[in-house]
Amino acid sequence: MAHSEAYKDAGTPAEQTRRTFMAQAVYALGGVIGLGIAIPVIASLVPASDAAGDQWSGLTPEQADAFKKASNQPVKITFSLHETNGYFGATDTDQFVWGVRTTEDKLKAERPELFEGANKFPYPAVAMGFTIFSPICPHLGCKYAWNQDKSKFICPCHGSEYDELGKHEAGPALRGLDPLPLRDFQGKVQITWIEYATNSPTMIVQKIG
């Protein structure tokens, strides 16, 4: 038989059976190996059952007392943010927000967008006589601070400025400061940490808690 014709020879029935068996064995072995790899990979992508957790972070009694006594200017409120991550477990990190004593009527007159339209805040914008602002500048995510001399919140990175109630007054930011939920729950002052998309005129939630 010519060499070029050898590939056309199907072989004896025994040879065909043997080749079929070997091919099926290879497919079966590949499936077992693939399944063995897929199970732990898929399991690693499934968050732990308690990953969602409680979205509210509480102030200590000392922090709550200092917060409630603030009246003349914005107050920096430090608290421990407890996060339960489905992949890395539970962690505690120190965070802070800015609290401004105000009334709903005053805030609504200064920042009506928080009460209507695309940026309507889905929680009470004023609670316990305060509104709470995320410390993240809505321009590109730097941490701004209160400037007592100018009576403004000023971002050190790109110069965005906001008045006491978070209204955007100058700089490249496309919106005012972002409020955060605040509540008094069973005698405890609690805050929900929310991270919004930056460099956008609309408050788009990226992460809660």
Angle at 30 between CA 25 and CA 33, to 5 degrees: 125
**pLDDT at 87 > cutoff 90:** no
Q: What is the pLDDT of residue 178?
A: 97
pLDDT digits (tens, 9 = 90+) for 141-179: 999 999 999 999 999 999 999 999 999 999 999 999 999
Residue count of the chain, please give it. Answer: 209
- Count, in order, helices (H) and strands (E) of the chain: 3, 13
Strands (DSSP E) found in the chain: 56-58, 75-85, 89-101, 130-133, 145-147, 152-154, 161-162, 168-170, 179-180, 182-185, 188-192, 194-196, 205-208
Cα 36 to chain centroid, rounded? 33
Q: What is the pLDDT of residues 11-36, one digit of tens each?
A: 555 555 666 656 565 555 555 454 44
Report the C-alpha gap between 172 and 185 in whole angstroms.
37
Q: Which fold does the domain 56-208 belong to in CATH?
A: Rieske Iron-sulfur Protein (2.102.10)
Q: From CA 124, how far away is CA 104, in angstroms rounded? A: 9
Q: How far is CA 76 from CA 67, 98, 128, 153, 165, in A?
A: 8, 5, 16, 12, 14
52: confidence class by pLDDT, cuts 50, 70, 90: very low
CA distance linking residue 83 with residue 44, whole number of Å? 18
Could you give the 3-state DSSP secondary structure of residue 66?
A: helix
Give the tokens for residue 85.
């991550």
Whether residue 131 contacts residue 179, with contact meaning beta carbons closer than 8 Å, is answered with yes
Calculate mean pLDDT across residues 126-155. 96
